[in-house]
A and B are shown apart, each in its own frame.
Chain A
Amino acid sequence: MKFDERQPGKVRIDDNKIAGLSIDELTISNLQKLISKREISVPELTKDMLDRIEKLDSMLGCYINVIGEQAMERAKEVQEKLDRGEINSPLAGIPMALKDNICTDGIPTTCGSKMLADFVPPYDAHVVKRLYDNGAILLGKVNMDEFAMGSSTETSYYKKTINPWDPERVPGGSSGGSAAAVAAGEAVYSLGSDTGGSIRNPASFCGCVGLKPTYGLVSRYGLIAYASSFDQIGPITRNVTDCALVLNAIAGHDPMDLTSSKKEHPDYTKALVNDVKGLKIGIPREFMDENGNGMEKSVKDAVLNAVRVFLELGAECIEVSIPALEYVVPMYYIIALAEASSNLARYDGIRYGYRTPDYKNLEELCKRSRSEGFGKEVKRRILLGTYVLSSGYYDEYYKKALKSRMVLIQQFKAAFEKCDIIIGPVTPTTAYRIGEKIDDPLKMYMEDVFTAPANIAGLPAMSIPCGVDMKSLPIGLQLIGRPFDESTILRAAYTFETHTVEGWKNG
């Protein structure tokens, strides 16, 4: 089954070639071939990418901070290392972007907030060190919802990022800049973070591949915390192969993160096998029923179509039931906001971050810095988190939510006894218009209905493109796996991709 060539959105200016490749071909694997055959140098490639950013970003708004000079310096260094045979990674020389909540030593890290407008981290996040060790070239830090709180990148203090498929629509969030940059060819790949869907949501709206690893697979050291028991860093890429390559580089134990798993992880490129025969795929009835999810027909049809594709390829598809899915939004928000209110208590205007110019005493220094430094949505979430943790409400909300979390985890476990992976939608609709949902917080929270379950249960989950709707906007298919079984969802994703999107068969 093949999909029609996607209609490029109004904004994508794709007569541009980078390293002789069209934007759709701008993958790690393709570039790696050109670099190793010396058909292009790392500095040339980096310069091409920086030129493209210069040309497009005032319109797209992906980057908060482009580090042109440093990128060119590092490009030179990496080329020299390649020439001396000192580096042998598939990511060497490949330009990428990082979500601006990932700490980069000496490079401003704002978290999309006024609170950290002049914050320059004194250290690199673990994942940044790993990527640098692999010869990655950082082009800059990309836009996000403030403190990762949002599903559309509209709460960013700095700028609006638009969806490269339609300039009037959101790119999704909170890793909107990360996904839009990859979709528009302003970065070959990027890292985002996902707490309730923040990698998968924008990947789905922008037509990219996005993966949230199992909780504990990737170190959170250096990730500015939102909700510590949900946050995970993950890749946003053009295709599944690139996703596996990046995941290989960033996964693995880090002694600086006590929640990072000591388990050995497999080589994820070994999962890139075109075969799903006998694979048992579960579809939760609670995802697909019209029970107030707000799921659009085009999204439902795309998921059902994916089921047909998998069946044709020899997989078994069964319906499963996970009743607790109905309660996912309140469950997620009660726990995440409680953790967020605690994590954001550190922003007090004293040691780093925004300090109000107007204070008479310590109390005012703290209160005013926080009130002037944080945006509306952040304040709302802090207050809600404070509420569910406060005396008199703690048992009723927070403790109950923690117990509910266990119910969901147990139900997922039971479902995974009947199937190997679970599929479903990523978002209820395709990209909506900028401004459409931002004034109704509850409406925005409902965007997480399909993605938050994997965060609550700590499961690996991916979004891969599976079609477009009547407006030519991308639709994402979600694949959820057992804990630490990224390999199976990668295999299913790779197989699906191989059989559906012709233009992406890039070896």
Chain B
Amino acid sequence: MEGKTRELIEHLAELAKLHLDEKEKDELTVEISKIIAYFDKLKRLDISGIEATEYLNILNINGPLSEKDLRADVVSESYEREKLLTRPEERETGYYIVPGVLE
């Protein structure tokens, strides 16, 4: 765990789109190994016999989802633009402005 953890942290930071400096990487390497070792405790719990269908439906508070749970696809009131676009350049153009993605 220890040796590969720093690589792991860098990989996770990339996945999570976080930029970590060297000091942060050092600290997190130690902290996260410790926490993951603690998470490993869960492996001792016997989970045989639990079906996928059981744990995937846990949030179906009102029973299995069906089409009648969906709202009708009709035009309704939405938000005023000023509430959603807060930067001046956004208000002028009506767009969220970001650096170009394509060359």
A interface residues, Cβ below 8 angstroms from B: 118, 120, 122-123, 215-216, 229, 255, 258-262, 324, 327, 329-331, 333-334, 341, 345, 348, 350-352, 359-363, 365-368, 370-371, 374, 379-380, 382-384, 386-388, 390, 396-397, 400-407, 409, 441-442, 445, 458
Contact = CB atoms under 8 A, between A and B. Distances in A.
Contacts of A402: 55-56
Contact of A441 (B31, B55, B100): B31
A155 to B, nearest CB: 14
B32 A348 contact: no
Contacts of A390: 11-12, 15
Contacts of A409: 58
A262 B62 contact: yes
A330 B42 contact: yes
B99 A365 contact: yes
Nearest first, the 3 closest Cβ-Cβ pairs linking A and B are A122-B83, A216-B61, A403-B47
Band of interface residues on B: 35 or more
B49 to A, nearest CB: 9
Interface in B1-33: 8-9, 11-13, 15-20, 24, 28, 31-32
A350 B79 contact: no
Interface of B: 8-9, 11-13, 15-20, 24, 28, 31-32, 34-36, 38-47, 50, 54-56, 58-59, 61-62, 65, 69, 71, 79-80, 83-84, 86, 96, 98-101
B84 A380 contact: no
Contact of A405 (B41, B55, B80, B83): B55
A386 B12 contact: yes
A406 B50 contact: yes
SS class of chain A's interface: helix, strand, loop or mixed?
helix
A333 B9 contact: no
Contacts of B45: 324, 327, 331, 404, 407
Given A341-B16, A402-B55, A403-B47, A388 B39 contact: yes
A261 B39 contact: no
Given A352-B86, A387-B12, A404-B47, A362 B59 contact: no
Nearest to A123: B79
Contact of A442 (B20, B34, B96): B34
B61 A370 contact: no
Contacts of B84: 122, 351
13 contacts: A122-B79, A215-B61, A216-B61, A258-B69, A259-B59, A331-B45, A370-B18, A370-B19, A379-B20, A383-B9, A384-B32, A387-B32, A390-B11
B61 A397 contact: no
A249 B54 CA distance: 33
B43 A367 contact: no
